[in-house]
Amino acid sequence: MRGPVFFSSSAKVMAPPEWVYDLKDAGFDGWEVVAEGDYRLDTAEGLARIRHLVETTGLRVTVHAPYGDLNCASLNYPILRESIRQISACIAAASEWTDRVTFHPGYLSPLAKLDPERAWATQKEALREIGRTAADHGVLACLENMISVREFLCRDPGELLGMTDGVEGIGVCFDLGHAHTVGVVHTFVDLIDRADHLHLHDNHGDSDEHLALGDGTIAYDRLGCAIASGFSGITVVEGRSVEEGRRSLGVIRGWD
């Protein structure tokens, strides 16, 4: 890869932080903080923990905004407002270290299924508000494509790019593991030069397993050169452990 490679693990958000100190020795250039659990940026304790880790590891940082129980397409107004608030607060805090924050799109609740066009418009307006916060803080907030759950918005590149096109402060994160569950990995790779941020992991096409590259059925051996030549930004390996991340990193370095 021409760009830096970071590591991220949603499986570690409740774990003691010692694992972060292994990332540099594993060969990673940085860490994508998943701002959930004990690593949230909207609490004094969480913010202090991340500051300490950044200072003592010397790692570069990007951030994944919180997503648990949030829905930026919700037609339940208090839930919508809280979702926007948490993502925006994370972006503001993250700007201390990075200009890239990834966040999830919303999904169709049982109510929203009765009026999906209204849910789409609600998500679009939420993006405008989140994007203004991002632009004010010098951050590009990257909306991520989602897994094969029919209620999720932005599962294919057309919907992801259509949702974000022309919105100030908003970019896109291509997640090829998510794309594999939808059967559109090759379509995303064909558009890889449109990505502002990239997540890589593997699975068998049925669920979001977050396996090491090569342990699932994504054809990284055939797609690697196209990914490496088409994308020069920050690539994030999402994994369950640093050791699995190390194996993924070996695959990626083989594309150079």
CB burial string 221-234: b at 16+ within 10 A, e below: eebbeebbebbebb
| Cβ atoms of 42 and 75 closer than 8 Å | no
**Integer Cα distance of 177 and 227 in angstroms:** 13
Q: Measuring CA to CA, which residue among 159, 155, 163, 161 is closest to residue 180?
A: 155
Treating both helix axes as pointing N-terminal to C-terminal, what angle do 242-253 and 220-230 enclose, rounded to 10 degrees? 70
CB burial string 4-17: b at 16+ within 10 A, e below: ebbbbbbebbeeee
| Cβ atoms of 223 and 192 closer than 8 Å | no
For 197-206, write each residue's pLDDT tens digit.
999 999 999 9
- Give the 3-state secondary structure of residue 199: strand
* pLDDT for residue 1: 62
Residues in the chain where the model's pLDDT stays below 70? 1
Alpha-carbon distance values, 158 to 144, 162, 172, 174, 206 (Å): 12, 6, 12, 12, 21
Locate 134 and state its tokens: 């991002």
Topology, domain 5-253: TIM Barrel (3.20.20)
* pLDDT for residue 2: 74
| Cβ atoms of 82 and 70 closer than 8 Å | yes
**Integer Cα distance of 169 and 49 in angstroms:** 27
Cα atoms in the 13 Å half-sphere on the side-chain side of 140: 13
Locate 187 and state its tokens: 């379509």
Long-range contact set of residues 151-154: C-beta below 8 Å, sequence gap at least 24: 151/107, 151/108, 151/109, 151/113, 152/105, 152/107, 152/108, 153/73, 153/105, 153/106, 153/107, 153/108, 153/119, 153/120, 153/123, 154/105
| Cβ atoms of 62 and 101 closer than 8 Å | yes
